[in-house]
Amino acid sequence: MTKPVRPISILVVDDDHDFTEVMSKRLDRSGYEVVVASSEKEARQILKARAKQLNLALLDMYMDTTRSGLRLVELIGREYPWMVTIVVTGWPDFETVVKCMEAGAFSYVTKANDESFPDLVVQTIEKASLRFSFVSQLHSLHPHLKEIRKEINNLMRRIHDIEAEILRIEDEIVAVSGQSIGSIESNDGKETSE
C-alpha cells in the first residue's frame, strides 16, 4: 500500500477579495490546499506560523504599498527557500517584475478579466510544482550534505596520503638504484642480455 501524497499547499495573497475567492475555488477544485491572506502583514503572520506546511505562494504585486509583493518574494527567498513564489499583477511594471525574478520568483502572471485567467494561473502552478518537487528533494538531502562533504574531504586526504607515499617510494627507488624513475620505466620494456 502506497503512502498518500500530501496535496500542495498554496498561500494566496491579494487585497482583492473577488480574486482570492475565485482563485481559492479554482485551486481547491484542482486538488490544492489554499490559505488566503489579504495583506502583506497578514501574509507575514501566516508564514511565521505555518510556513513549514506551505509549498507555494501566489502573491499580488501591489497591495498595501507598491513593494508589498516584492518584499514578500524577498522574505520567502531568504527565510523559506523551499517555497516557490509566483507573482500576479494587474499592473505589469517591467522593472519590478525583473526585481521579483531576481529575488527568486518562479514566474509572474498578468491579471486578466476573462474566464481563462484562473486556468492560466493553475497551469503556471503546475509548472512551478515541478520546481517545488526538485527543491523539496534538495532540502531533504540537506542534512546529509554535511556528511557527504566530510566523506569527500576524507577521501581527498587519503588520496593525498597515497600520492605522498608513491613519491616517497619513488625517491627510495632512485636512491637505491641510482637511476631516475623515467629511465627505470623505459628499461622495463627492454630485454636484457647476459
- The CATH number that applies at residue 98 is 3.40.50.2300
Co-location of 74 and 96 in the same domain = yes
The residue range of the domain holding 122 is: 9-142
151 shares a domain with 99: no
Same domain, 170 and 129: no
The answer to whether residue 191 sits within a structural domain is no
- Is 192 part of any domain? no
Same domain, 112 and 163: no
**Residue 181 half-sphere exposure toward CB, CA atoms < 13 A:** 8
- 52 & 122 share domain: yes
Quick check: is 96 in a domain?
Answer: yes
Closest CA to 70 of 54, 48, 47, 89: 89
**Per-residue confidence (pLDDT) for residue 12, from 0 to 100:** 94
Q: Give residue 4's pLDDT.
A: 37
The tens-digit pLDDT sequence of the chain (194 residues) is 343 355 788 999 999 898 899 889 999 988 899 999 999 999 999 999 988 889 899 998 888 767 788 899 999 988 888 888 998 887 767 787 788 888 888 888 887 776 777 887 888 888 877 766 665 556 555 666 667 667 776 787 788 788 888 888 888 887 887 776 666 666 665 554 44
Q: Are residues 113 and 22 in the same domain?
A: yes
> Are 151 and 121 part of one and the same domain?
no
pLDDT of residue 8: 83
**Which residues 6+ apart lie within 8 Å of 42 measured at CB?**
13
Separation between Cα atoms, residue 67 and residue 74, nearest integer Å = 10
- Asked if residue 3 belongs to a domain, the reply is no
Is the domain of 133 the same as that of 163?
A: no
Per the structure, the count of domains in the chain is 2
Q: Report the pLDDT value the prediction gives residue 42, as an integer from 0 to 100.
A: 95
Contact partners, residue 172, CB within 8 Å, separation at least 6: none
The answer on 154 and 125 residing in a single domain is no
